[in-house]
Structures are given as structure tokens and as C-alpha cells.
Amino acid sequence: MKKDKTTILVLGFISLLITGFAFSNSADAAESLIYVSPASLTKNVGDLFDISVKVNSAGEKICAVEGTLVFNNLTCQNITISGDLDIQVATTPTCSSPHFLIGIKTCTTSDRILLTVSVKAESAGISAAKFSGVDIIGEGISISSASIGGSYTLVSPTVPTSPVCICDSWQDQTCGADSCSSDQLLQTRVCAPSGCDLESQCNDDQSCSPSPSSETTGSVLSATTSAESSEGKTSTIKLFLIIIGILCAVGLVFIGVKKLRVVPKKK
């Protein structure tokens, strides 16, 4: 009989321990808290992104929430209060002073968004947004100081590298082809990958320059012919004038002789 009583006492004690342990876990699981959402992200250095501050009531009645935002390797750009009509702000947080005291009309057992914060990713590494001095207040009493922050991985943006370009040697084509002028030689080549470098060019080349043939020679011949023609005309005019002069002289002599024959001799 005594043995049975001992067994009952031991079992009862074990039951109490198990019940207490379960109750303790249940109480911990039901604790209300504030947290940052999203809890994790990967961003490039210099990126701007938004995070939210939310309250999880865990079924408890919450009437106000107080705390201070703490940023690590993040720069606060702007803090916006939730547009929820039940939100009443007693202390408005700013980037220079991120302390907040926010009330909730008639209290609530629902989860709420309290704030939205715009932040800038600073240097590569791990960054965080967390809380200090958290106080979650129920109906006249503090019910929790729990909080969960956000942790973010910041990486340096990848700088695109230029592709390695391999080109053939330049090949001569024709003068004046494509967009080249008449005294330029078109040259082409093939590059891989395609378009990574110039694949055509216009190059000044003596072979494209017009030879001093037809036009120049023609001009010289024309000038020479013109000069010769002019000189011939001058010689003809001179000869013509000489002949006229000679004829005039002969005519004068003839007239003089005739007059002498007509004059009578004196007796």
C-alpha cells in the first residue's frame, strides 16, 4: 500500500513538472512582440529599400508600443507613420531621432503595421535594423519587451567587364566605297565577338588620288595651243601690215612717176 502511494506521488510530481513546462512554453510562444519585415534581404551597396515595423499581438490586447530604431550599416532616409486610422502617434520618429511612442485606439488584438522606413545600403557586409528600449503596453500595464530585428547582406555591385576582342588584319577593298570619299580606300576586317570593335574604316591612300593625266595634261595642252594660236595670229597680222605697207609705198611711187611725166618741160 505504501509502495502504491509513493508511485502515485512520483507520477503526480512528474505530471506537475510536465504541465508546468508545457505552460511555460505556451506562455513564451504567446508573447507579443514588434519586429522588422522583411527579416532578411540581399542588396547591392548604394541600394535604397523599404522595411516595415510591425507588431505581433499573439492574441494579447495591445494599447501602445514604444521603442527606438537602431541602424547598423544602413542610413535612414525617411520614416513614414502607418496610414491605419487606429494609429495615434504620441512621439513621431525621425531619421535623426528614431524614437517612437504609438498608441492604438481602443487597443487591439490584431497585428498592425506601425512604421515604414526607407534605408540606404552602405558598405559591403552585414547590416541590421533592430530595436532598443521596447515596451509593449496593454491596458495600463507593460506586457512585453520582445523584438526581432532584420538582418541584411550588402554586396558590391558587379562591374560588367568588356569582352576580349579578337580582330583579323585590315583588308583593302575599293576607293570611295561605303562612306569613304573618292580619295580614300575602304578597309574591312572581322572581329569576334561581332561588333566589339571597328570592322570598317576609310584610309587615305595614294592609290585613290587622281593621276595628273587627262585633266592636268589637257589643261597644259589647251594653254599651249592657245598660246601658239595667239602667236600665229600675231605673226599673220604683222605680215599683212607689212604687205599693205609695201603696196602703199609702190602706189605712191607709181603716182609720183606719172605726175612727173605730165609736167611740161620749160623752154
Whether pLDDT at 74 is above 80: yes
In this structure, of 10-19, 27-36, 219-228, the range with the lowest mean pLDDT score is 10-19
Q: What is the mean pLDDT of residues 152-180?
A: 86
**Beta-sheet strands, E only, within the chain:** 33-37, 40-44, 48-56, 62-72, 74-81, 87-91, 99-108, 112-121, 125-137, 142-144, 146-148, 150-155, 166-167, 171-175, 184-188, 191-192, 200-204
Can you give the pLDDT at residue 69? Answer: 97
Can you give the pLDDT at residue 151? Answer: 97
Q: What is the mean pLDDT of residues 62-86?
A: 95
Side-chain half-sphere of 82: how many Cα atoms within 13 Å? 21
User: Which of 8-22, 114-128, 182-196, 203-217 is modeled with the greatest confidence?
Assistant: 114-128
Can you give the pLDDT at residue 218? Answer: 55
Which domains are present in the chain?
30-155 (2.60.40.680), 166-205 (no CATH)
- Residue 51: closest CA among 37, 71, 30, 69: 37
The structure's pTM equals 0.53
In this structure, of 12-21, 48-57, 197-206, the range with the lowest mean pLDDT score is 12-21
Regarding predicted confidence, which is higher, 150 or 245?
150
Can you give the pLDDT at residue 12? Answer: 53
Can you give the pLDDT at residue 176? Answer: 85
pLDDT band of residue 238 (cuts 50, 70, 90) is confident
Mean pLDDT of the chain: 82
Can you give the pLDDT at residue 128? Answer: 97
Q: What is the mean pLDDT of residues 246-263?
A: 72
